Amino acid sequence: MRMEISNRTTNSADYPGMAASFFEPLWYAVYTNANHEKRVTQQLEKRSVEHYLPLYESVRRWKDRRVQLQMPLFPGYVFVKLALRDRLQLLQIPGVVHLVSFDGHPARLPQEDIQAIRNCLDRGHQVEPHPYLTAGRRVRVRSGPLQGLEGTILRRKNKTRFVLSFELIMRSVAVEIDETDVMPAC
């Protein structure tokens, strides 16, 4: 799935001075207007742009009933895989504010981070947003679907939680994990 700028597909060989990342589809974090993540993904779907909006289930209590909702795991963010040459079309989508950038350059999100989120959600783990952590006991998961990931370990109410932090967007997610599956990080 790719956006086409014109009928002619261009590549880095056509522009010798340009960086290959300008033409190679990579993962980026898109910052959206508040509560517009699902609308943005609908627009990305229409434009055949590869995207990922991780959702988790949350039970909300209203006056007369309880409702189970699909909420964004990272409020305000949608992940897209595209070549930077196509970013103008992305930025024209209603609800898109900007690509997460550093020093004016869009910051690429490692494929491993996207895969880690997918692994957590696809394996049926109970994943939920967590405040961003910068300190704590660092561990590495030694077995299971999260094997190889590094994060912070927390204990709450006789349960062990593995907190996976994403530096690029300053957000974290927590996953319940068996303490025997982790070891201290080097």
- The CATH code of the domain that includes 114 is 2.30.30
Cα–Cα–Cα angle for 138, 124, 52, rounded to 5 degrees: 80
Measured CA to CA, the distance from residue 77 to residue 73 in angstroms comes to 9
pLDDT greater at residue 6 or residue 22:
22
Instruction: Say whether both 29 and 119 belong to one domain.
Output: no
Average pLDDT over residues 59-81: 92
Which residues, in sequence order, are CB contacts of 64 under 8 Å at separation 6+?
A: none
Per-residue confidence (pLDDT) for residue 20, from 0 to 100: 62
Measured CA to CA, the distance from residue 173 to residue 151 in angstroms comes to 10
Instruction: Say whether both 53 and 86 belong to one domain.
Output: yes
Average pLDDT over residues 99-106: 91
Mean pLDDT of the chain: 85
Q: Evaluate if residue 66 carries a pLDDT over 70.
A: yes
Following CA atoms 18, 105, 88, 23 in sequence, which dihedral angle do they give, to the nearest 10 degrees? 30
Tally Cβ neighbours within 10 Å of residue 182.
23
Give the CA distances from residue 171 to residues 113, 128, 131, 138, in Å, rounded to whole numbers and listed in that order: 12, 11, 7, 16
Q: Evaluate if residue 179 carries a pLDDT over 50.
A: yes
Domain edge (last residue) among 109, 130, 159: 109
**pLDDT classification of 94: cutoffs 50, 70, 90:** very high
Measured CA to CA, the distance from residue 90 to residue 84 in angstroms comes to 10
Whole-prediction pTM value? 0.81
Asked if 45 and 61 count as a contact pair (C-beta separation under 8 A), the reply is: no
Per-residue confidence (pLDDT) for residue 100, from 0 to 100: 94
Q: Evaluate if residue 29 carries a pLDDT over 60.
A: yes
| E strand spans, 65-145 | 66-72, 77-82, 96-99, 101-102, 105-106, 108-109, 127-130, 138-141
**pLDDT classification of 8: cutoffs 50, 70, 90:** very low
Q: Evaluate if residue 2 carries a pLDDT over 50.
A: no
Instruction: Say whether both 56 and 99 belong to one domain.
Output: yes
Average pLDDT over residues 115-138: 85
Most confident of 3-12, 75-84, 139-148: 75-84
Q: For residue 102, what is the domain's CATH number?
A: 3.30.70.940
Instruction: Say whether both 16 and 81 belong to one domain.
Output: yes
Instruction: Say whether both 60 and 105 belong to one domain.
Output: yes
Instruction: Say whether both 42 and 130 belong to one domain.
Output: no
| pLDDT per residue as tens digits for the range 130-153 | 888 877 888 998 887 788 888 998
% of the chain with per-residue pLDDT over 90: 43
Q: Evaluate if residue 32 carries a pLDDT over 80.
A: yes
Instruction: Say whether both 82 and 167 belong to one domain.
Output: no
Instruction: Say whether both 84 and 115 belong to one domain.
Output: no
Residue ranges making up the domain that contains 141 = 110-186
Domain edge (last residue) among 78, 94, 109: 109
